Structures are given as C-alpha cells and as structure tokens.
Amino acid sequence: MTEKEQAKQRWQENCKHIESITSKARPETATERATNIRHSRSDYAYFCRRYFSHYCKCKNGKFQNDAARYVKSHPDMKAVFMWPRAHAKSTHFDIMIPLWLKFQETPQLHLMVVVGKNEDSADVLLSDLQAELQFNRYLIADFGQQYNAGSWEEGEFVTKDGTAFFSRGRGQSPRGLRYRESRPDYIVIDDLDDDELCRNESRVRILTDWVKEALFGALDGGRGRFIMVGNLIGKCSVLNNIAHSETVHLSRVEAINKEGIPVWTEKYSKKEMEEMAAFMGYRAFQKEMMNNPITEGAVFKHDWIRWKKPCRLDQYDYLILNCCQDSLNTILIFV
C-alpha cells in the first residue's frame, strides 16, 4: 500500500468516526437549537464543545480562546502563534477557527489556504477540514449540507456556498490562487520548519522570502488573515523570522510558567509536565515545550551547573568575578 493509499484509508476511518460521534441525538427544541446556534457564533469555546467533542476531550485553554477572538476581530492581520507541542495548534487554526469564521451569520471565510512543510502534509491537513464539512452531522444539522466538489487528495475542494479550500506545500507556487471572484482571505502556515531546514541559514532565508513574497502576495493586496503557527525549534527559522517582522502580532505561549504551572491546566497537571521534562531532558523540553531552542556547545549545559548554598564572604580565599562589557568588546576578570 502506497503512502497516499494509507492516507486515504486513515481519512475514511476518520470520516466514519466523525459521523458516528456526531450522529447522537441532541435533546433540544427548535427554539433551543436556534438559541444555541446564536450562542456558538459568539462564544468560541461553546462552538468547539457543540460541534467538535471528538477533538475537545477537555476544555479550551484561555490562550486558545483568546487567539480565536483575536483572529475573529482582526479581518486583516498578520500573526504568528508560537505555541508548544501538543497544545492543539493545528486543531484550532486549521479546523475550528476557520469553520467558526465560515459559520458566522455573515460568513468571514471565502477562500482558505493551508500550507504544510510538503505537499503531502498539506493535503493531510486539508483532509481533516473536508472530513468535518462532509461528515460532521452536527454541523450539517445546524448549517446545512456543506460539501460540493473536489477532494483533499487533489489539494482543493469547495462547499455548496462557494467557499473554497486549497492546500500548498513548502515552496509550491501559490500564484494565481482564486475561486471564481474570491482570492485567499485566510492563509495558515502550519509547522513549516524542521530540524534539517533550521541548520541551513541560506534555505531559511530563501523560504522566508517565499512566505513574504509569493505566499503573502496571494492575498488581495494584503487583505485577509495571514497566520503562521508552530513551536520555535531553532532561532534560525522561518517562524522566528516572521515573528520578528514589523506589523506581525505575536502570541508566544510556553508550556509552564516560572512556578511550573501548565498554561493549559485544563489538560495537563503540574506532575505530568514535571515527568515530561524529566524524561525529555532540559534541552529538549526547552526546545519543544518552551520556545527556547538551545544549540548544544554554544552555551553551558544545564546539567553542568552545580548549585550549593554560599558561604559567608569572609570564608572564601578568593572571589573571581567575570564581566563582559559589550560596548568595549572585552572581558574583564577581577580576583
């Protein structure tokens, strides 16, 4: 079985799962249903619970709801959402937020482009959207039949109201993307960087230019939502370059705060995070969960540092102070 055939088989299984989960009857009257639909359009957390219980095994974190509200209230925006691994970046920005925009009373989504690190990964991201629009019975019951034509396998599909969805891989030409009179108004770039790319400064620079030129240029004169999501796996990365560009909104979230409390307390306990950090090691945890990539050999390893309670100053034979004065480009050592 080829990789594409395996992906199609997984998609078919996912579609059956979605249809099964969302076929359970809801005990609500027609009046209650109308009220709940209005509620879902104004309350993102409720929208997620009502239509995507198969994704929402726990409540959204505050940072996720804040992000959705920011995206909704800024129709013309450039933003980077720098979140840790396993904090539902793709689920929110590739599926639930765009569908929340689509199902507003006045739709705020007309042509969406999802961009992955290669064509196949972008197609798989698109497949999750098609599965929801084609087989989620709760969405169909409240908003009508959605799917019309096309397939994620071909990199594009459209819904009955003329909303179009496209996928593109890293470096693929997005020029000329349109459906009927619509140009892209929601572009999401998902996990574009990888470890190999981040080791090549020239490739990172070329890909950053592609994002800012060809991809951003697919919008209608810069109008629309231009979003990049990922965790910071390298300081030499496209994500870091875009995050530090002018006029870009940055949402930077670390897995835990200084007291070790998880940012997504609805999903993770402090003990779980402590065990994760212990297994991964300091360097890996900082990179994957704290947006703090550390180049080994460029800094002292955390494991090398030994801590002890200091003695009284008059008990030391010598005290050595090492100072670096940047303005003079010199290092001063006092004994």
- Considering the domain boundaries, does residue 322 fall inside one? no
> Would you say residue 143 lies in a domain?
yes
Block residue for tokens 């997620």:
48
Report how far residue 215's alpha carbon sits from residue 226's, in angstroms, rounded to the nearest whole number.
9
* pLDDT score recorded for residue 226: 98
The conformation of residue 329, written as its DSSP 8-state character, comes to T
- Structural domains in the chain (count): 1
Is residue 46 in some structural domain?
yes
Q: Please, are residues 211 and 228 in contact by the beta-carbon 8 Å criterion?
A: yes
CATH code: domain of residue 74: 3.40.50
Q: Which pLDDT does position 7 carry in this prediction?
A: 85
Structural domain that includes position 110: 3-253
- Average pLDDT by consecutive 10-residue portion of the chain (335 residues)? 81 95 92 97 98 95 98 98 97 98 97 92 91 96 93 91 94 86 94 93 96 94 96 96 97 96 97 97 95 74 72 82 58 51
Count of other CB atoms within 10 angstroms of residue 13: 10
Residue 315 is assigned to a structural domain of this protein: no
What is the reported pLDDT for 300? Answer: 60
pTM score, two decimals?
A: 0.86
Q: What is the DSSP string of 133-190?
A: HHH-HHHHHHH---EEEEEGGGTEEEETTS-EEEEEETT---TT--BTTBPPSEEEEE
In a domain, 282, yes or no: no
Give the pLDDT score at 173.
85
Q: Is residue 20 part of a domain?
A: yes
pLDDT at residue 331, as a whole number: 53
